[in-house]
Structure 1
Amino acid sequence: MNPRLTAFGHQLIEVHVWLRGRLEDLRDDVDAYFAGDGPLPRDLRAHCLSFCSALTRHHTGEDRVAFPEIAEEFPELRPVITQLKTDHNRIDWILGALDKLLAGLPDEPDQAARTRVIAELEGLSAIMETHFTYEEKKLLTVLNGLDVPGWRAERPDFLLVDED
């Protein structure tokens, strides 16, 4: 088997690790803001938009590229793909709610805003973790075994990370 092919599932794990780290960075910035020594609200929102766009790119790439390929090759995994797509929609909704909360933050932190933002971040973290774990458990071996010439030629969006 081609070593490049073997890596697709492992590349997915690397992307998930990277996304978890970006969420942790955002959470650290939010905590610093509410402690009074962090970035301004507009900077928090920019950080959030960067993270959100990376996560959205990953999920959109899965929905448009990976999942159709997997469903074609492994029809028995279609219910898994349906669940993963449902998770993507839930995550997208949470990202939108988080963006709205960060866009409305006052220059001076307050407890009510903190409670709302932290609740959204905790919800996002929980669903991301269960989603990533489920996806890795169900698709790692499948991804490692797929032979998709286009993926060998150019790394698909769902396997990309941004340079830090």
Structure 2
Amino acid sequence: MHPSPGPGNRFTALGTQLIEIHHWLREELARLRASLEPGAVPPNGGDRLRSLRAHCLSFCSALTAHHTGEDGGAFRVLAEEAPQLRPVLAKLAQDHRLIDGIVRRIEELVAGPPAADPAAAARVLAELDGLTAIVESHFGFEERAIVTALDALRADAGTAEELYGLAPPAW
């Protein structure tokens, strides 16, 4: 996969940019989950709880921005230009609401009592495991179902950031 030349640049196909964003979000979720493993050391030897909260809030915010951006951007444009995709887009938007509920539970758990409590860490890990499974299924389905249609969008349909809520990562 070739990196996008820059945020908003349409040199790289929109479908590829979506896959790049998904890849980055998958990596961030894996890092977040790894930070909860027993014996995990926070970056720079910092406070584990503070690091977990910061990383969780950052990841949760990025995932929410992505899904909100898709709902109001890419899905809206695709529904206009490829009406046959409307049932698929409705299913993907439904997934977004399900994922949002899990993200909120994770945020509440991380904001709660200290994660030094093994039971609290186990609850967060369980929620992250569920989130990982759903996100993986959702991203895979989304990529199979709409990447070709995204690549066919007219040039003025919008930038990746406008359509997806996030710019592709600068690899």
TM-score above 0.5, yes or no: yes
* Identity percentage of aligned residues: 48
Cross-structure match for 1:79:
87
The reply to whether residue 13 of structure 1 matches residue 19 of structure 2 is yes
Paired with 1:121 and 1:23, the residues of 2 have a C-alpha distance of 8
Contact 1:91/1:127, CA 8 A, preserved across alignment: yes
Deviation readout 1:94-117 (Å, 9 max, x if unpaired): 11100111112426x233223211
Q: What does residue 152 of structure 2 align with?
A: 145
Pair 1:157–1:40, CA change in 2 (3 A) = farther
Paired residues for 1:1-164 under 5 Å: 4=10, 7-31=13-37, 34-35=38-39, 37-38=41-42, 39-106=47-114, 109-151=116-158, 155-156=161-162, 158=164, 159-161=166-168
Kept in 2, the 8 Å contact 1:27–1:121? The answer is yes
Deviations 1:107-147 (A, max 9, x none): 6x233223211110000000100000000000010000000
- Which consecutive unaligned segments of at least 5 residues does structure 2 have? 1-8
Cα distance change, pair 41–161 in 1 and its aligned pair in 2 (3 A)? farther
Equivalenced residues, count? 158
Which residue identity does 2:140 align to in structure 1? T
Shift of the 163–74 alpha-carbon distance from structure 1 to 2, 3 Å rule, reads closer
> What is the alpha-carbon root mean square deviation over aligned residues?
2.3
Output the TM-score relative to the length of structure 2. Answer: 0.83
Tell me the TM-score normalised to structure 1 length: 0.86
Shift of 1:163: 6.4
Higher share in helix: 1
What amino acid sits opposite 2:151 in the alignment?
Answer: N
Amino acid at match of 1:81: L
Instruction: Measure, in 2, the Cα distance between the counterparts of 1:162 and 1:105.
Output: 33
